[in-house]
Structure 1
């Protein structure tokens, strides 16, 4: 018999979840698993990560019904991922499948269902060989999925990858579910002269149709047209259950006091006027150059706007450069910070999870995309949802956003009496309400989560 509070692996419904080894993939997969176990207490989930990722997240708090299992690293170090993205992505497609299968053979209970990141295209083949249903999880906007899934349309219409950026202001309207998009807003790997990364990305999609369902970390109401279009193309269920962020960890009444479980920056936030602080975070992996960081620091100082900036390893140096008008920290509880009443804006690299946290918190956004799907997400923020500004609108590729421009953008953006600011703040609050309804009883994400759980239960 299993100990009190533990799931018996022999009698439980057993799901194996395997994310692509990257922060923007591991986090939403884990959040989905927590949502599933919160809704179905008798579900056992084995969460499979590389040994390196287990070192990153193995000590994090999780329900007892979620347990970790490890497979070898695909490359010796995550540092190799930053140095050679092509080799890393290629290794995830060729080096993870075999150890994953060996792991399945060692588990103490039969596997009833697999949830695998779409980028791990081999997982569908593993499931089909073993007669285990597979759900393919896409942790980015559904629009980005549609762009890649229909990438042949770009080529057939004469929009070749190496020409996309040079013709960036041209718009196309033939991608299913996307009424119109600039070529510059196609994910940036499509713009690269070296097309190996694009080829690796496109290689994953033929296996999607062999899965038993497709999962999106988006919210139906944010991307209704593209999701409807994809549902017409696939014969299996498509579920949206976003936002795949840890909102379930937030209490109904959030305490921002400093105690042994909180941090000093909350004391500082508590002392600031409502909506007066700009929160800045430019991601955990693909960051900006030191020169750009210096320009940001100078621009923030000159703007006179209060700010809280997560700058990781450079926090001390940048704090000295910025002065006392704001705070620079190496880490913070991002979602909780965004929900703080003194925070009135979010300068983000437009990572999908960060963007969803900004929407959940209802704050206007300064969009500063770096690469990959972030260009498309900027398009949604600025053009489709109208909840933010594009910081790079007048910046050419390879150029820095200068401190003078930054000071001007930040000052105008945080002017609470600006008519333009008032409008984007209103839209941000509207999308916040859309998000809250989606995860409430009867909401689209809650209903989809229940339907997916029924799919899992039906094969037990």
Structure 2
């Protein structure tokens, strides 16, 4: 008899993609089927899953605000995720027709542990950010006791050092997750709610690989009452083994032909994510700064693409979408100007590409610190917190040139460290590597139920 995993992500692309990539890894193991549950809107956006007959996609009704409008009232969106999704998911479980071995759900679906307890199904919490960001939230009481709550992130305290979180390297207050404040208040109450039930899960899965933050993971293993498994990077590296079909050489799909025509290690890849956008003033400064740098670049943006293309001249190409991991692995790409989302960070590490950091939201400020200070594989473009701070074109051009200088000591050192981390990452996912071993242990302990978990 096979094993059946029900997987449900938080409804956002940065959470859906890693759980879907994890699902591909799970069904590559013997006798596992994954039922992947999305909202109706996200089911339409994701489309059919190819090459994995053991993954089936199902949906619940659209009980949360649309993806197109959620950033306008993010607090309201979170409220709906935390209160509206449980009932339709619970009803869906009754209709599956297969017994459920375990549920893997995003940490920010805290009601899932209640569902699992009620049905006597093991629930696994999937953490889709850096392990050290998990520690920041888990030890929130320590931060509050020292007056370092992210909600109290006052300008005069941003340079204060935090060196007391177990297993976490020292950081500044400015490196904490920058809180989102909206009409309904701060996201802090939702984070506290999610972490208040985290140890009611039967296990915690991380989308990182062990060697990236071993001290953080070792400390969490010693301090948490539930097992943890580092099964990342949860990026689509399996798709790289499939021979790519040649994109149609017209319109936006011609970006691979454009990359093929560029000199080796000459292109800066630019993408600031799919959720939040920067101000139009900042977009114009970025456009002018890239042009002034005289560096070739491929820029992914959905806003004002035509006007920006006119401004960027012959050195740049602007398209609304690309296959990011394949682009980062292309031989012409030598740098990544990124918003520092965790999935993008992991893909850049996998590809061995150094980064120029431009954080916008929540954990991205912390990731920027990891990239630049802890791992030494990038430079900070955005030094200060807050959307109101606009980086000028001169600073952008100068920092881009520093990152893309293959002959200078700084550029060589960044690429050397990025290559070393890439090799560590790729060893982890090989047969017998730390990720492979962690995934096998997770399947044995949780999916196959060889460990007894007390609710």
TM-score normalised according to structure 1 size: 0.93
Tell me the alpha carbon deviations over residues 297-324 of structure 1, each in whole angstroms, 9 at most, x when there is no partner: 1111111100001112432221111111
Match of 2:277 in 1: 287
Q: Is the 8 A contact 2:23 2:55 kept in 1?
A: yes
Q: Is the 8 A contact 1:165 1:184 kept in 2?
A: no
Match of 2:10 in 1: 20
Tell me the alpha carbon deviations over residues 391-431 of structure 1, each in whole angstroms, 9 at most, x when there is no partner: 01268762211111111111222111111110011000000
The runs of at least 4 consecutive aligned structure 1 residues that moved more than 4 Å come to 190-195, 254-262, 394-397
Does residue 67 of the first structure (1) align with residue 40 of the second (2)? no
Q: Is the 8 A contact 1:213 1:236 kept in 2?
A: yes
Distance in 1 separating the partners of 2:41 and 2:74 = 17
Distance in 2 separating the partners of 1:313 and 1:164 = 31
The correspondence for 2:320, drawn from 309, 324, 330, is 330
Give the deviation of 1:65 after TM superposition.
0.6
Distance in 1 separating the partners of 2:49 and 2:310 = 32
Match of 1:94 in 2: 83
Stretch of structure 1 that moved more, 221-230 or 380-389? 221-230
Match of 2:351 in 1: 361
Q: Is the 8 A contact 1:74 1:88 kept in 2?
A: no
Tell me the alpha carbon deviations over residues 422-451 of structure 1, each in whole angstroms, 9 at most, x when there is no partner: 001100000000100000111111100111
Tell me the alpha carbon deviations over residues 306-363 of structure 1, each in whole angstroms, 9 at most, x when there is no partner: 0001112432221111111111111111100100111000000000000100000001
Give the deviation of 1:272 after TM superposition.
1.2
What secondary structure does 2:314 align onto? coil
Stretch of structure 1 that moved more, 159-168 or 317-326? 159-168
Distance in 1 separating the partners of 2:36 and 2:438 = 21
Distance in 1 separating the partners of 2:92 and 2:394 = 54
Does residue 457 of the first structure (1) align with residue 418 of the second (2)? no
Q: Is the 8 A contact 2:113 2:123 kept in 1?
A: yes
| C-alpha spacing 1:436/1:329, structure 2 compared with 1 (3 Å) | same
Give the deviation of 1:59 after TM superposition.
2.7
Distance in 2 separating the partners of 1:256 and 1:275 = 23
Please show how residues 6-405 of structure 1 align to structure 2 within 5 Å: 11-40=1-30, 42-166=31-155, 167-189=157-179, 196-251=186-241, 258=247, 263-393=253-383, 398-405=388-395
Stretch of structure 1 that moved more, 154-163 or 401-410? 154-163
Stretch of structure 1 that moved more, 354-363 or 226-235? 226-235
Distance in 2 separating the partners of 1:316 and 1:159 = 43
Stretches of structure 1 that go unaligned for 5 or more consecutive residues are 1-10
Give the deviation of 1:227 after TM superposition.
0.7
Q: Is the 8 A contact 1:277 1:342 kept in 2?
A: yes
The correspondence for 2:432, drawn from 442, 447, 453, is 442
| C-alpha spacing 1:413/1:256, structure 2 compared with 1 (3 Å) | farther
Give the deviation of 1:211 after TM superposition.
0.9
Q: Is the 8 A contact 2:371 2:377 kept in 1?
A: yes
Distance in 2 separating the partners of 1:394 and 1:77 = 31
Work out the number of aligned pairs and report it.
448
Distance in 1 separating the partners of 2:360 and 2:393 = 18
Stretches of structure 2 that go unaligned for 5 or more consecutive residues are none
Distance in 2 separating the partners of 1:393 and 1:264 = 34
Q: CA RMSD in A?
A: 2.1
Q: Is the 8 A contact 2:342 2:367 kept in 1?
A: yes
Distance in 2 separating the partners of 1:318 and 1:105 = 50
Tell me the alpha carbon deviations over residues 7-40 of structure 1, each in whole angstroms, 9 at most, x when there is no partner: xxxx431110010000010000000000000122
Distance in 1 separating the partners of 2:145 and 2:91 = 42
